[in-house]
Amino acid sequence: MAEYSAFSLLKNALSGNRDWKPAWRKPSPKASYDVVIIGGGGHGLSTAYYLAKEFGITNVAVLEKGYLGSGNVGRNTTAVRSNYLLPQNTRFYEHSMKMWENLSHDLNYNVMFSQRGVLNLAHTPGQLDDLARKGNAMRHLGVDAELMTPAEIGRRVPGLDMSQQARFPIYGGLMQERAGTARHDAVAWGYARGADRRGVDIIENCEVTGFLRDGDRVTGVSTSRGEIRARKVAVAVAGSTGRVMQLAGIDRMPIESHVLQAFVSESLKPFLDTVLTFGMGHFYVGQSDKGGLVYGGDLDGYNSYAQRGSLPIVEEVMSEMLALFPSLAPVRVLRSWGGVCDMSMDGSPIITTGPLPGMYLNCGWCYGGFKATPASGFCFAHTIAKDAPHEFNAPFTLDRFSRGTVIDDKGQGPTPRMH
């Protein structure tokens, strides 16, 4: 497999980049494994990596129905943050943040993690009070948070309309300086390479079509490339969770699938050195290293498994961007895409054993899937290896909805699309 260093970069540059080795193998599926992971996205690949690295379980297969990284891990807006209100989420996402800070070194693969900060804007005094409350909650748990004045925000983001004549005047904001962005496809490739180097089989173009059972116990999967037996079967398929679980005879799950659109503009000179979120609507924007503005907004208002969205959301997102940055009106949009989000009933994830013996479940990520990738993989690997949750994912059970112990960080109630 490929090794990456300054020397290898120089050597391959001098040879016209013709001698790079594959980053991972293309194996055929074996008849059986200790663990089969359904889903070759960020969470499936990171789970396989940590199973091998941390728990010594290397007889693992990751099954991906398409090509590696074709799902949400390659369709997000790349933001990484841990600015949550409730302690269960704050502890989990802060653990993920700490893993992000060392991830390139751990994987020997540059995931381009850039700690440029995430700034949440407040447009009313009440919103500013709410951000102060969240910031204090974060600081109580050791997470960095700083309340910023309008003058400080204006100096940090000079392109913003800071006037009192703005449609939504800015009263202040909450900054998390350690937050930022990472290159989404590099994260998928880095975890794939790392897992492959430790003996994990990554099997692309292998769609799961059913589950093998011995009574209630799951003993393997049927796929488009034949049956595969396994002691343990893990499901990490994001917005396809409902469809995959139906194959196991589970027709009701506390999640809904919705399309989330994202957009990128033509390249601009350096304009925005942080990730910015809009307080009077659902909008967030950052600038990529290539100069394009990468931004997104709210979910499309209907359930869908399509990786594309509708025009009303396009109009809404553009109008919110221009409310903040009127000078961007002439900028052209280059492309847009959609990812299928698995929206849980309380806006928090599910990482747990079950709901059938021999099965393990990772879903319900809403908007938080990409930034959770390292911690999700680590905690899910722990849950699979130990048949018990890690302390960071212990609250994220499937039965919390029936027990009434929901983790509703936004206070939106049992309406998945509102989270």
DSSP-assigned letters across all residues of 213-249:
EETTEEEEEEETTEEEEEEEEEE--GGGHHHHHHHTT
User: Which whole number is the average pLDDT over 90-97?
Assistant: 98
SS3 135: helix
Quote the percentage of the chain above a pLDDT of 90: 87
- Residue 401, domain member (yes or no): yes
SS3 85: coil
DSSP codes, 172-208: EEEEETT-EE--HHHHHHHHHHHHHHTT-EEE-S--E
* Same-domain check for residues 260 and 340: yes
- Residue 12, domain member (yes or no): no
Give this prediction's pTM.
0.95
The residues facing 230 across adjacent strands are 33
- Residue 288, domain member (yes or no): yes
- Residue 105, domain member (yes or no): no
pLDDT digits (tens, 9 = 90+) for 46-71: 999 999 999 999 999 999 999 998 88
* Same-domain check for residues 308 and 413: no
pLDDT at 29: 96
Q: How many DSSP H helices and E strands does the chain contain?
A: 11, 18
pLDDT at 412: 86
Helices (H), 278-369: 311-324
Last residue of a domain, one of 321, 344, 367: 344
pLDDT digits (tens, 9 = 90+) for 171-185: 999 999 999 999 999
User: Which whole number is the average pLDDT over 375-394?
Assistant: 98
User: Which whole number is the average pLDDT over 91-101?
Assistant: 98
Is residue 244 scored above 70 in pLDDT?
yes
Q: What are the φ and ψ backbone dihedral angles of 19, each rounded to 5 degrees?
A: -110, 15
259-263, 301-305, 399-403: range with lowest mean pLDDT: 301-305
* Same-domain check for residues 40 and 168: no
Helices (H), 329-417: 373-386, 400-403
Last residue of a domain, one of 307, 324, 344: 344
* Same-domain check for residues 153 and 205: no
- Residue 19, domain member (yes or no): no
| d(C-alpha 60, C-alpha 49), whole Å | 10
- Residue 104, domain member (yes or no): no
pLDDT at 263: 96
* Same-domain check for residues 71 and 197: yes
CB atoms within 10 A of CB 271: 17
| H or E element at residue 62 | strand 60-63
User: Which whole number is the average pLDDT over 69-74?
Assistant: 88
Is residue 418 scored above 90 in pLDDT?
no
203-207, 237-241, 309-313, 321-325: range with lowest mean pLDDT: 309-313
Look at the chain and report how many structural domains it folds into.
2
- Residue 190, domain member (yes or no): yes
pLDDT at 253: 93
pLDDT digits (tens, 9 = 90+) for 341-365: 999 999 999 999 989 999 999 999 9
* Same-domain check for residues 166 and 191: no
Mean pLDDT, the chain, whole residue set: 95
pLDDT-derived band at 24 (thresholds 50, 70, 90) equals very high
> What six digits make up the tokens of 108?
């020997």
**In 3D, which of 198, 13, 10 has the Cα closest to residue 108?**
198
> What six digits make up the tokens of 223?
């796929």
Q: What are the φ and ψ backbone dihedral angles of 240, each rounded to 5 degrees?
A: -95, 10
pLDDT-derived band at 2 (thresholds 50, 70, 90) equals low
The four Cα atoms 329, 335, 340, 343 give a dihedral, to 10 degrees, of: -20
pLDDT-derived band at 1 (thresholds 50, 70, 90) equals low
SS3 305: coil
Give the up-direction half-sphere exposure of residue 304: CA atoms within 13 A in the CB hemisphere. 14
| d(C-alpha 298, C-alpha 8), whole Å | 43
Is residue 3 scored above 80 in pLDDT?
no
| d(C-alpha 44, C-alpha 338), whole Å | 20
CB atoms within 10 A of CB 324: 26
| d(C-alpha 376, C-alpha 356), whole Å | 20
- Residue 394, domain member (yes or no): yes
pLDDT at 307: 84
* Same-domain check for residues 269 and 340: yes
Q: How big is the chain by its Cα radius of gyration, in Å?
A: 22
| d(C-alpha 397, C-alpha 37), whole Å | 19
Domain at 315, CATH number = 3.30.9.10
* Same-domain check for residues 290 and 408: no
pLDDT at 274: 97
* Same-domain check for residues 288 and 323: yes
* Same-domain check for residues 209 and 301: no
Full residue range of the structural domain in which residue 191 is found? 29-78+184-254+346-418
* Same-domain check for residues 351 and 385: yes
* Same-domain check for residues 188 and 120: no
Determine the Cα angle at 410 with ends 86 and 38, to 5°: 80
pLDDT at 414: 87
> Which DSSP symbol is given to 165?
T
Is residue 194 scored above 80 in pLDDT?
yes
77-91, 204-218, 251-265, 302-316: range with lowest mean pLDDT: 302-316
Last residue of a domain, one of 344, 370, 399: 344
Domain at 219, CATH number = 3.50.50.60
pLDDT at 305: 87
pLDDT at 218: 97
